[in-house]
Amino acid sequence: MNTRSEALRVLLGNWRGYNTVPAPDLYPHQWSWDSAFIAIGTRHLSPLRAQRELESLFGAQWDDGRVPHIVFDPATPDEGYFPGPSFWNSKSVTGPGVAATSGIVQPPVHALAAWEVFQSDPDTAQRRRFLQRLYPKLVAWHEYLRCRRDLGGAGLVSIVHPWESGMDNSPAWDPALARVRPVSMRRYRRRDLDHADASQRPTDEDYGRYVRLVETYRDSGYADRPEVHEFAVEDPLTNALLAASEEAMAGIADEVGAPAAPHLAELARLREAMVARLFSGGLFHPFDVRSGELTEVGSVAGLVPLVVPDLPVAEELIATATGPRFRAGELGVVPSFDLTDERFDPARYWRGPAWFNIGWLIRRGLLTHGASKLAEVLRSGYLEVAERAGFREYADPHRATGLGAHRFAWTAALTLDLIE
C-alpha cells in the first residue's frame, strides 16, 4: 500500500467538518489529546484544517479553564459511546448553549501541537490570528492544571481518573484504583465491546471503577477539592507534556507579543519538581497522593519526560528505554509496559502494546537530547508497523500485529508526520 495516501485517506474519512474523530465506530466524538496529535499530522495535509482541529476543541473549554477530554458530537446518539453526554451531565455546570462534554481532562500536549501547526504555515496562521486567539485559552488551560490540580502540594499536576492519563488501564494505576469500589455492571452497558475484542480492552472490573470515579466527580459538580478525589496521582507523562508545552508557550508568547520568560520559568520549575519527586531507579514513576507513595512500576509514561528539554536524567532514561525492560533499540517500537514484569500483556491496551503517540513523543525526546540514531530506529520501526498492519490503534510490540480500532486517526496523523 502507499502509506502516505492511505494515511491521508483515514484523516479525510474521519474528518467531521470541524474536528476529526479518533475512530468512526469505537470513538465517534472529539477527544482532547487525540486532536492535538491529529493536528500535528493534519498540518501536512491542510494547515488550516489543523488549526480548526485545535480551535474546535478549545471552543468547548470550560470557564474554569479546563479542556474536556471529550467534546460530544450532537449528531451522534447518546448511546453511541459510553459514558455519553447524559451520563456526564456537563451542562449542569457549563450551562446550555455550550457543547456537551465530559468533565475530566487529558494530557496537555495542545500548546506543543499549536506551535507545530503554526510553524507549518505562519502566513495563514497570522492572517487568521490563530495564535493570538488561542494563546489566552492555552494560558487558562495551563493555569487550571497548575492551580486547581496541585492536589499533592508539590507543584505537580494530579490526574483524578485513569482516563485523564490517556493510558487508561496501565498497571501503573492498579494500586490506586484498587481502593475504588466498582459500580455494578447491571447499572450501565459498555459500548466499547460492540466494536472491539474484549481481550484487548480494559476488564469489566476496571470499567466499574472508572464509572464510579466519574459519578463521584460529577455529583460534586466537578469540584477539585482534594476530598472529592478517591483517585489522585501525579502522572509523569501529564507533567512532562505540561513542561514541554511551556517551552512551546514561550515561542507562542514571543510571536503574539507576550512575555516568554514566565513560561520558561514554569518549564524549569516543573522539571525540577518532577526529577525531585518522581524519578527513581532510571525511570519516572507516578506519585499516589492518597497513599503518599511512588508507584514503582515500569509504565512507558515514565520514559516520556525525555520530551522535557535539558532533562538532567536523560541518559539514565535512554539506558532504561534500550535495556531489558523496554528493548526499544531491538524492537523498533516502545512497549507500553515493562516486558520483564509478569503483568505485561502484549495485546491488552495500555498493559503492553506499542502506541504511535508514545513512540512519536519518545522519538521527539531522543532528538531533543541528541540520541538521533535511536530516534531513527524508532521512526523506521513505527513506519514499518503502519505499512504492515495499517493504521490500527496499537500493536503487539513483538510481532507488530495491529490491534484495537481500525482507521485510527492519530496513528495515521503521526505516520504522516514521520514520513514528512
Kindly indicate which of the ranges 29-37, 48-56, 112-120, 140-148 contains the residues binding ligand 9WN, using the contact rule CB under 6 A: 29-37
Q: Which of 10, 22, 177, 403 binds ligand 9WN (CB under 6 A)?
A: 22
Q: How far is the CB of 22 from ligand 9WN (least distance, A)?
A: 3
CB nearer ligand 9WN, residue 168 or residue 288: 168
Q: Is 338 in the site for ligand 9WN (CB under 6 A)?
A: no
Q: How far is the CB of 357 from ligand 9WN (least distance, A)?
A: 8
Give, in order, the Cα–Cα distances in Å from 96 to each of 89, 93, 105: 11, 9, 20
Q: Which of 62, 118, 130, 163 binds ligand 9WN (CB under 6 A)?
A: 163
| Other CB atoms within 10 A of residue 200 CB | 18
143 is catalytic: no
Cell, residue 413 = 496523523
- What is the Cα–Cα distance from 339 to 317, expressed in whole angstroms? 16
Q: Who's near 208: CB < 8 A, 6+ residues apart?
A: 182, 183, 184, 185
> What's CA 279's distance to the chain center, in Å?
20
Q: How far is the CB of 201 from ligand 9WN (least distance, A)?
A: 7
Q: Which of 6, 11, 34, 231 binds ligand 9WN (CB under 6 A)?
A: 34
Q: CB–CB of 3/389 below 8 Å?
A: no
Q: How far is the CB of 168 from ligand 9WN (least distance, A)?
A: 4
Q: What is the DSSP letter of 280?
A: E
- What is the Cα–Cα distance from 37 to 54, expressed in whole angstroms? 10
Of 6, 393, 396, 417, which one is the catalytic site residue? 393
- What is the Cα–Cα distance from 321 to 359, expressed in whole angstroms? 11
- What is the Cα–Cα distance from 377 to 332, expressed in whole angstroms? 6
Q: Is 345 in the site for ligand 9WN (CB under 6 A)?
A: no
393 is catalytic: yes
Q: Is 192 in the site for ligand 9WN (CB under 6 A)?
A: yes
Backbone dihedral angles phi then psi of residue 247, each to the nearest 5 degrees: -60, -45
Kindly indicate which of the ranges 126-134, 141-149, 161-169, 382-390 contains the residues binding ligand 9WN, using the contact rule CB under 6 A: 161-169
Q: Who's near 268: CB < 8 A, 6+ residues apart?
A: none
| Other CB atoms within 10 A of residue 261 CB | 9
- What is the Cα–Cα distance from 108 to 246, expressed in whole angstroms? 10
Q: Is 33 in the site for ligand 9WN (CB under 6 A)?
A: yes
Q: Who's near 170: CB < 8 A, 6+ residues apart?
A: 162, 299, 301, 336, 337, 350, 351
Q: How far is the CB of 147 from ligand 9WN (least distance, A)?
A: 24
- What is the Cα–Cα distance from 393 to 395, expressed in whole angstroms? 7
**Window 68 to 97, contacts with ligand 9WN (CB under 6 A):** 69
Total number of residues binding ligand 9WN (CB under 6 A)? 10
Q: Which of 7, 14, 31, 382 binds ligand 9WN (CB under 6 A)?
A: 31
Kindly indicate which of the ranges 28-36, 140-148, 212-220, 327-335 contains the residues binding ligand 9WN, using the contact rule CB under 6 A: 28-36
Kindly indicate which of the ranges 31-39, 138-146, 361-369, 381-389 contains the residues binding ligand 9WN, using the contact rule CB under 6 A: 31-39
Kindly indicate which of the ranges 25-33, 144-152, 312-320, 337-345 contains the residues binding ligand 9WN, using the contact rule CB under 6 A: 25-33
Of 168, 224, 235, 396, which one is the catalytic site residue? 168
Which residues belong to the active site?
168, 393
Query: Which residues of this protein are in contact with ligand 9WN, per CB under 6 A?
Result: 22, 27, 31, 33-34, 69, 163, 166, 168, 192
